[in-house]
Amino acid sequence: MISAVCKLCLRQKDLQSSHFLPAAAYKSLLKPEESNPSPYLMSGTKRVESSRQIKDYVLCGDCERLFNDNGERWVLAHMAWEEKFPLREILRKAIPIRSIPGLTTYAAGAIVEIDVDKLEYFALSVFWRAAVHNWKPIHGEKYERLQLGPYREHLREYLLGIAPFPSNVITVISVYEEEHFVLSMFPPFAGAPRKKEGRPYSFLIPGIQFSMALGNRLKAESRELSSHLQPERRIFMSRWSTWELSPSMTNLRRSNFRVKASARSYSGSSRVLKGGDKKRAVAIGEQKDASVWSAGFF
């Protein structure tokens, strides 16, 4: 614990050892029955089994509790774990508003078991953390902080509770559909710039991908995808293994929507196969070609 200015409340306080991505999400990737239960840390150049996590002194205790109460606790309880995936099960019991091969759309605003506010708060808290601090490298792999311009302050005020959900910011939430899939986690990265709409951002925790786009040039079709758009507050269920990056967001509205998943530039955390058994892994380092991870929504 050190005394310094908290990045969220901007007050001089005793800072906690804050995790970039939640510690409980790392815990879900452990294999306690193995001699080395740690996941793989992966980048474009290395792979090593390690329990190290990205963390630093960033937030005070009060702001850590704020993050936990307003989103993190709920999201971690509903993400994918070894034997359960509560958020996916809730969606499977609901009636979708649209369905095409590989992608199903739900009006989460009408599903009482889903707290969309907490999902959004959690998503923006992680994107903000990626923009507000130079996180310490792990095993020599540097993480490149996000450049959000004035929206970094807009996000801070929203997260602190002194401003509403920021205008010209959209969040897209996608849940993995498959019964069996790679448990994965990667930190926020900036995708390839989109013509006239700016740059998208994405990150992943086990079973759930969060994407964000911002700016006053966002098209109406893009805004319709946002989990914040009332009254539907859409959430998507998708087959991650069949995704192919779409050249246009408008393809999401058509039957030929495709998204592409590629591991060639992976820099998050993922579960990989080892000797026929599933072994988790956490990827680290700077994203080399983030465009392939834009999830097709932007």
What value does the mean pLDDT take over residues 17-27?
A: 89
**What integer pLDDT is reported at residue 262 of this predicted model?**
29
Residue 298 lies in a domain: no
- Residue 279: partners with Cβ closer than 8 Å, 6 or more residues away: 31, 34, 39, 40, 271, 272, 273
Spatial CA neighbour of 20 closest among 167, 198, 164, 143: 143
Instruction: Express each pLDDT in 55-114 by its tens digit.
Output: 999 999 999 999 999 999 999 999 998 889 999 999 999 999 999 988 999 999 999 999
Instruction: Express each pLDDT in 25-51 by its tens digit.
Output: 888 887 777 777 777 666 556 666 777
- Residue 271: partners with Cβ closer than 8 Å, 6 or more residues away: 29, 39, 182, 183, 184, 278, 279, 280, 281
**What integer pLDDT is reported at residue 180 of this predicted model?**
77
Q: Between 233 and 264, whose confidence is greater?
A: 233
Asked if pLDDT for residue 270 goes beyond 70, the answer is: no
Q: How far apart are CA 270 and CA 24, in angstroms?
A: 15
Instruction: Express each pLDDT in 140-162 by its tens digit.
Output: 677 789 999 999 999 999 999 99
Q: How far apart are CA 235 and CA 225, in angstroms?
A: 8
Mean pLDDT of the residues in the chain: 79
Q: What is the pTM of this model?
A: 0.82
Q: Between 263 and 272, whose confidence is greater?
A: 272
Q: 């452990």: which residue's tokens?
A: 30
Residue 112 lies in a domain: yes
Instruction: Express each pLDDT in 226-237 by its tens digit.
Output: 999 999 999 999
Counting beta carbons within 10 angstroms of the beta carbon of residue 224, is it exposed (0 to 12), middle (13 to 18) or buried (19 or more)? middle
- Residue 209: partners with Cβ closer than 8 Å, 6 or more residues away: 173, 174, 176, 202, 203, 240, 295
**What integer pLDDT is reported at residue 164 of this predicted model?**
97
pLDDT confidence bin for 260, thresholds 50/70/90: very low
Instruction: Count how many domains the chain has.
Output: 1
Residue 152 lies in a domain: yes
Residue 60 lies in a domain: yes
Residue 25 lies in a domain: yes
Residue 198 lies in a domain: yes
Which residues constitute the domain of residue 80? 2-293
